[in-house]
Amino acid sequence: MDNIKKTWKEAKGATGQPSGTVETLILKARQKKKSVLYFHYGNIVVLTITLVAIALFFYKVVHFQTNLGKAGIVLMHSGLIIRILVEVYSSIKSKKIVLLNDAAQTNSDALSFYNFRRAVHGPITIATVGLYMAGFYFLSPEFAMYLNLTTMILMHLSFVVGAIFVVWQVRKGVQTEMRNLRSLRELKDQLEETE
């Protein structure tokens, strides 16, 4: 780390700009990168807890007998597992971005990651949420055998309300992540300009 700082100081000294500016940019870039990484870790934790809770519920409380019910369980679990794996891959891909690499490599890594995350928040998220929702509705016929109509209606209404809340929360998280990624890219560009 000291060698990196020394190199940056020498580069800044040659351009006549104060070295504190470069150190500040490096610090900001690291903080933004850490924020993005913590976002992935948070997603992994929440999704894993959800997966475990649903699995325990289906294993300990409700034992579905119909093929449609079993398919619903598989779809719900599949949607969560796919999303967890995507978040794990995202965190690995994020760690590969080294802000102090040469500009071309850093730019390539950052753009690749940014484009991947945009795809995650588009088709991948739609597919995983679709799997989860389809799974829930596949469970409904078997739930209807054990629950009265009022309970079924309340269950489906609460699912819709919960889905709206989750979409709202995910949207906020996505906007924050995209801002952090854009900011990280801008900081990287500023670092490149100071070279």
Q: Please give the chain's pLDDT, 195 residues, in tens.
A: 344 444 444 444 444 444 456 567 667 767 777 777 887 888 899 889 999 999 998 888 888 888 998 999 999 999 999 999 998 998 888 887 776 666 657 667 777 777 788 778 778 888 888 898 899 899 989 888 888 999 989 988 988 888 788 777 777 767 777 776 677 667 666 666 665
**How many Cα neighbours within 13 Å face the side chain of 95?**
8
Tally of domains in the chain: 1
Tell me if residue 44 falls in helix, strand or coil.
helix
9 within some domain? no
Residue 182: give the domain boundaries.
19-194
For 141, 155, 181, the CA distances from 161, given in Å and listed in that order, are: 20, 10, 30
11 within some domain? no
1 within some domain? no
Contact 91, 41 (CB under 8 A): yes
User: Comparing C-alpha atoms, which of 3, 84, 72 is closest to residue 43?
Assistant: 84
93 within some domain? yes
- Is this model's pTM higher than 0.85 or not? no
- Residue spans of alpha helices (H) in the chain: 2-15, 19-56, 67-95, 103-119, 125-146, 149-194
**How many Cα neighbours within 13 Å face the side chain of 143?**
18
What does the block give as tokens for 101?
């690499």
69 within some domain? yes
3 within some domain? no
80 within some domain? yes
The Cα 96–Cα 62 span in angstroms is 43
